[in-house]
Amino acid sequence: MSEDGKWVRAALKRALTVLESKEDELGRLDAAAGDGDHGAGMVRGLTAAVEAAVADEPGEALMQAGTAFADAAGGASGAIYGVLLVALGKRLAASGRVDPPQFVQGLRDAIEAIQQLGKAQPGDKTLLDALVPFVEALEEGVRGGQDLRSAWRQALPVAEEAARATAGLVARKGRSSRLGARGLGHPDPGAVSLTYILRAVEPALPA
């Protein structure tokens, strides 16, 4: 697997392009239950992350991206993507290599860091409701011997189905929890944007 950090920047660029095209849709989804700024915040965060992720070493580039994302995006998702990218980066930097099991472990670290920060559990209608089943499916593929991109592609529909299913959940964390059961019927914007990002970055990942 390539040690070249350029894939990090390429992946972030791909995510930015897709989220720019989804900015209004994500804003509308967030307006249904929250404050309507989710699309704009993600585009601001990713724009800053692309600019900041200049290190050659992938772990270092991910940490640069996370810090810049959090500063530029603000809000709940800014803080959450900040810790996600930094946790993944730390794991890859510490292991000195980017292989599929280390990548899975980095995403597990990220889930733990997100939960420590935001105190949300699966079922609370947040992006964790898509991220946790995605990482479980990814891990299963990697354990079965698949390369990272194959396992990732196989896990994408799991995340997408889980994001759709958040429409049936009542938010218990974040801004939208104020709406209670009135938020039923709309998927969580953070879960939806996560699936766009996961699909967008796949071709840029180290194979």
Q: Are 15 and 194 in contact (CB under 8 A)?
A: no
* C-alpha span between 63 and 157 (Å, rounded): 28
Residue 11 or 46: the one with the smaller Cβ distance to ligand ADP is: 46
* C-alpha span between 146 and 140 (Å, rounded): 9
Q: Residue 19: which residues within 8 A CB-CB, separation 6 or more?
A: 26, 39, 42, 43, 46, 193, 196, 197, 200
50-89 footprint of ligand ADP as x/- string (CB under 6 A): -------------------------xxx--x---------
Stretch that binds ligand ADP, among 11-19, 30-38, 85-93, 143-151 (CB under 6 A): 30-38
Residue 188 contact, options Mg ion, ligand ADP, none, Cβ 5-8 Å cut-off depending on partner type? ligand ADP
Q: Are 106 and 92 in contact (CB under 8 A)?
A: yes
126-155 footprint of ligand ADP as x/- string (CB under 6 A): xxx---------------------------
Residue 29 or 151: the one with the smaller Cβ distance to ligand ADP is: 29
Stretch that binds ligand ADP, among 61-69, 92-100, 144-152, 188-196 (CB under 6 A): 188-196
* C-alpha span between 134 and 28 (Å, rounded): 25
Task: Enumerate binding residues for Mg ion (CB under 5 A).
Answer: 30, 34-35, 37-38, 75
